[in-house]
Structure formats: C-alpha cells, structure tokens
Amino acid sequence: MSWKVACIQMDVAYGDPETNYKKAEEKIAKAAEQADLVVLPEMWTTGYDLTRLDEIADKNAEKTVNFLQKLAKKHDIHLVGGSVASEHEDGVRNTLLVINREGELVHQYSKLHLFQLMDEHLYLQQGEDESGFHLDGHSLAGFICYDLRFPEWMSKPVHKGAKALFVVAEWPAPRVNHWRVLLQARAIENQCYVIACNCIGADPKNTFAGHSMIIDPWGEIVAEASDQEEIMTGTIDLDEVTEIRKRIPIFEDRRPDRYS
C-alpha cells in the first residue's frame, strides 16, 4: 500500500488566523494535485501568539475541523491537519486533527509534552489523548513537535502496530540539527516511516527551521524540504515496514521487563 504524501511547509502569519486559513486552502488545493495525503504544520492557524489565545483560539477546534472536512472531501485526500489552538472550558490545548478523504474527523490528539522554553506551559493545557489512529485500515500515529524528544511516547503506538509516525512542528532554526537526527532516530528505532512537517519564517521570538522530512524505516531520507516555503512530496510504501521488521526482528527481542 503506497501513498503520495505532501507536507505543506508554510510561513505561518503570526496571530492572523484568517490569513492562514486562506493560505492553507490555496496550498492544500495545490498539494492535492499530486498527493493522496496532505500534512500541515503545528499551530498553523495562529502561530505562537500565545498571549492572545483567548482572542484567536478556535473553540473546540470547530472552525478548523469544518474547514478541513470540506477540503478533504473536495479534493479526495486524507489530511493530517497539523495542530491548532483549540479552546475548551479548562483552557487552550495544542491539538492535532486527522480527517479522512470522506471528510470524517478520524482523530484528535492534544500535545502531551509542553515546551517550557517557548512558554507553552504558561498558556496551554497538557493533553491526555492517545496518539494512534487509522486511515484506510492502516495503523498510524501523530505527534506534535517537542514530543519528538520522548522516544518512549513515540514508540507506544508502534508496539500496537503503527507503520508511520507523523510529526507536525514549529521547530526553531537553532536546533535544526537535533530535528534531523531525532527524526531519523525515531524511524530507525521504530522501523517505520516518519513524516515530519515543519514551518518556516519567524515570529517576535523565534525563527523556524523548515526542513520538513519523509524518512523510511531504514532511516533513509525519502524527501527533505529547504528552509523556504514549499510543498514537499514523497512516496511511502507501508508494506515495506512489514518486510523490514521481518528482516531485523527487533520487537521480538525486546526485554521490557528489564527497562524500568
């Protein structure tokens, strides 16, 4: 089973949801011309304008879900719809959205690990959701940015059968080398595809790295974007995951009883 995947590496307009919805609609339409599955970056509706989230967050992510549902149906694509600031009674969460090509909301995951260096813990509520979901009968999982530094969390859905891990991010440029190495490590140690969509551009406190990537289960780079705004594409073959896991059966040799 192969998919053509497109990552929309966009320059997110800081604190300006309407501009970002318009840009995303245009770029999704373009990406859908060549892809079965399209991925958006982290916090793509607002950027990290955290101090104004009470004004610009999307209540229960309803507007964004409706927006993505219409586009998924219109273009007949699956959407790993990045993450958005989703407002709830207890506060705002950084929530990843997954929509299938029928326009159904398949999954929501709110970021478990909050990044204190960007003050997330001051403005966002920690998520408690599971990361796994299914598209076309395939087990997959989605994570958000800082989650990448927690291998135990990212391996959890793999032990339940996940064949690809999606990472949506606003990863800063000064640590782009960490981004690239950690993505390859997660692919190798989990023997699965890693599809990572970052943003580019800058806000008042950060400059973002770009370098969205698609990495195969051997850790080889299928596609890598630049540090400019672009739509990056690559093909993933989920059957390859099963074959590689047979060739080096690391999961059969695990000793979790000795790991704690």
Contact 106, 135 (CB under 8 A): yes
Q: Which one of 7, 23, 27, 42 is the catalytic residue?
A: 42
Place of tokens 């032990």: 159
Q: Where does the chain show beta strands of DSSP type E?
A: 2-9, 37-39, 58-59, 78-88, 91-99, 105-110, 132-135, 138-144, 164-168, 193-197, 200-202, 207-209, 213-215, 221-224, 230-237
| Residue 55 is among the residues annotated as catalytic for this protein | no
Place of tokens 């813990």: 121
| Residue 42 is among the residues annotated as catalytic for this protein | yes
Round to whole Å and give the CA distance between 219 and 207: 27
Nearest of 23, 80, 71 to residue 47 by alpha carbon? 23
Q: Which one of 87, 111, 192, 240 is the catalytic residue?
A: 111
Q: Which one of 145, 192, 197, 199 is the catalytic residue?
A: 145
| Residue 197 is among the residues annotated as catalytic for this protein | no
- The set of catalytic residues is 42, 111, 145
